[in-house]
């Protein structure tokens, strides 16, 4: 989602450098020593907007880092890269999917569309962009867990009916795993959101992680079936 105040140029450049460094570290992990390779770390990329990036939070409080900790506590050898960019629409995500998801990625958690709905963009355009992302990842044989979004009800039943239907339709068509609503459990809960009412607090992120965790574990079992 977007903040009401535009970030300063230095902040944007700083986030871009951190994002690039994180991706380089993620790629470097695929060329570890043979002993490390034998550990078969599952490498996920969380591709999304500010809800993934962790707007207003420390890096370790953002969704990808919190999810990685929760999975490791459950015994999974997994790394979750943060490919969230604040303000991104689905079409912006489609424009960067190839370089945001490096070679060696085992699976993608796709969380995009919230900004499309906030702007009241045509749901058909959002679906087209998400389809482009899914097509690119399918070509690369990278499985996807779609983290769905609901449109604000203030936009009217016709709009939110069309928008909400995008995610289950694409999941069925592409054989992707689906978590229907990324903000389940925190939407409308003031204590779990920052003052803007749109972005989760660190506690809100932990709530998201707790709720999505069973779906992510099911996704991981598909990526790496038990031996």
Beta pairing class for 78-84 and 107-111 = unpaired
Check if 199 is active-site: yes
Contact between 150 and 110 under an 8 Å Cβ cutoff? The reply is no
Task: Tell me, yes or no, if 184 is annotated catalytic.
Answer: no
Q: Phi, psi at residue 185, to the nearest 5°?
A: 95, -15
Query: For the chain, how big is the Rg over CA atoms in Å?
Result: 17
Cβ-based neighbours of 12, under 8 Å, separated by 6 or more: none
Rounded to whole angstroms, what are the CA distances from 103 to 29, 74, 179? 11, 26, 25
Only one residue has tokens 């003031």, namely 190
Catalytic choice (49, 100, 116, 199): 199
Name residues whose C-beta falls within 8 Å of residue 108's C-beta, 6 or more positions apart in sequence. 44, 45, 46, 47, 101, 137, 142, 143, 144, 145
Per DSSP, 194 falls in state -
Nearest Cα to Cα of residue 66 among 217, 213, 221, 192? 213
Of 51, 93, 54, 70, nearest to 183 (Cα)?
Answer: 51
Cα–Cα dist 62/59, whole Å = 5
Whether 116 sits among the annotated catalytic residues: the reply is no
Catalytic residue among 50, 86, 91, 100: 50
Helix or strand or coil: residue 109?
strand
Q: Which of 77, 98, 196, 218 is catalytic?
A: 196
Q: Which residues are catalytic?
A: 50, 196, 199
């Amino acid at each position: 989602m977007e903040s009401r105040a535009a970030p300063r140029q230095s902040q944007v450049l700083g986030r871009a450098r951190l994002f690039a460094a994180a991706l380089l570290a993620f790629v470097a992990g695929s060329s570890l020593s043979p002993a490390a390779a034998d550990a078969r770390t599952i490498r996920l990329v969380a591709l999304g907007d500010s809800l993934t990036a962790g707007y207003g939070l420390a890096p370790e409080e953002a969704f990808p880092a919190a999810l990685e900790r929760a999975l490791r506590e459950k015994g999974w050898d997994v790394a979750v890269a943060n490919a969230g960019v604040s303000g991104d629409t689905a079409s912006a995500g489609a424009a960067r999917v190839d370089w945001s998801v490096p070679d060696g990625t085992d699976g993608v958690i796709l969380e995009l569309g919230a900004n499309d709905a906030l702007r009241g963009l045509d749901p058909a355009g959002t679906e087209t962009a998400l389809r482009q992302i899914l097509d690119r990842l399918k070509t690369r044989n990278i499985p996807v867990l779609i983290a769905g979004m609901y449109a604000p009800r203030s936009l009217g039943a016709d709009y939110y009916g069309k928008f909400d239907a995008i995610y289950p339709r694409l999941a069925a068509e592409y054989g992707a795993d689906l978590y229907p609503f990324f903000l389940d459990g925190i939407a409308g809960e003031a204590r779990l959101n920052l003052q803007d009412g749109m972005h989760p607090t660190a506690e809100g992120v932990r709530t998201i992680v707790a709720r999505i965790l069973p779906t992510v574990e099911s996704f991981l079992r598909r990526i790496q079936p038990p031996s």
